[in-house]
Amino acid sequence: MTTLLLARHGLTDLTGPVLAGRTPGVHLSEAGRAQAEALAGRIAGVRLDAVVSSPLERCRETAEAVAKGRGADVVLDERLIECGYGTWTGRPLKELAQEPLWQTVQAHPSAVTFPEGESLADMQHRAVAAVREWNRRLGLKGVYLACTHGDVIKAIVADALGLHLDHFQRITADPAALTVIRYAPLRPFVLRINDMGELRLPEDSEEKDGGENITGSDAAVGGGPGTT
């Protein structure tokens, strides 16, 4: 099963009050750099076959903290870039919350195309396509980290859970948090969402018989043994 570690970038000075979007030159803040270093430590024991990132600076800097010391290069993938928010980019969220479109973003995001920007449906399509291509490239034993943005992560997770995009606002992706998805031949398995703890991945060899499906291609009957 191909294992994807989805990481949101660390904090910037704009995270929270402003919709940074694709604004160039938005770097990690001091707190964000500390979060990126902590993220690297939390997954230090996990083998990574690739470290992939959105091309925006805040994601690249977070991914570089993870790649440092692993002898790995960060590969940029344009398909993991932030949603194109168009004329909403750079505006305060308090101001955007007064826009008529805001309620549609919250309740019916599949219908949203941002003014002079991208639709959320198109964003999900290209982000999921990127994940599927990396899965094929790295194979069933591949493990990789992709550093991207909150809405992109939520859209990928919604796809993995089989949720309509209109439900993706129910998913949370905090700065420097990890979401872990395993892609099996039949379906994805979401192992963690918005996790801030140390990560240990179960190896395929740890899957036993006695109620669990040892092929890794289907759900365990009875729930499975979990991990230790």
Q: If you write DSSP's letter for every residue of 67-136 in order, what string do you get?
A: HTTTT-PEEE-GGGSPP--GGGTT-BHHHHTTSHHHHHHHH-GGG-B-TTS-BHHHHHHHHHHHHHHHHH
pLDDT at residue 102 greater than cutoff 80: yes
* Band (221; pLDDT cuts 50, 70, 90): low
* Band (216; pLDDT cuts 50, 70, 90): low
pLDDT at residue 28 greater than cutoff 50: yes
pLDDT, residue 207, reads 44
Question: Which tokens hold the place of 9?
Answer: 């970038």
* Band (210; pLDDT cuts 50, 70, 90): very low
Q: Which of 37, 64, 82, 149 is catalytic?
A: 82
* Band (201; pLDDT cuts 50, 70, 90): confident
2-8 sheet: strands from edge to edge: 74-76, 50-53, 143-148, 2-8, 178-183, 188-195
pLDDT at residue 56 greater than cutoff 70: yes
Mean pLDDT of 67-88: 95
Neighbours of 55 (CB within 10 A): 14
Q: Active-site residue 82, yes or no?
A: yes
- Contact between residue 165 and residue 124 where contact means Cβ atoms under 8 Å apart: yes
Residues for the chain: how many in total?
A: 228
Percent of the chain scored above 70 by pLDDT? 89
* Band (212; pLDDT cuts 50, 70, 90): very low
Q: What is the DSSP secondary structure assignment for residue 60, as one 8-state letter?
A: H
Q: Active-site residue 116, yes or no?
A: no
The average confidence (pLDDT) of the chain is: 91
pLDDT at residue 196 greater than cutoff 90: yes
* Band (218; pLDDT cuts 50, 70, 90): low
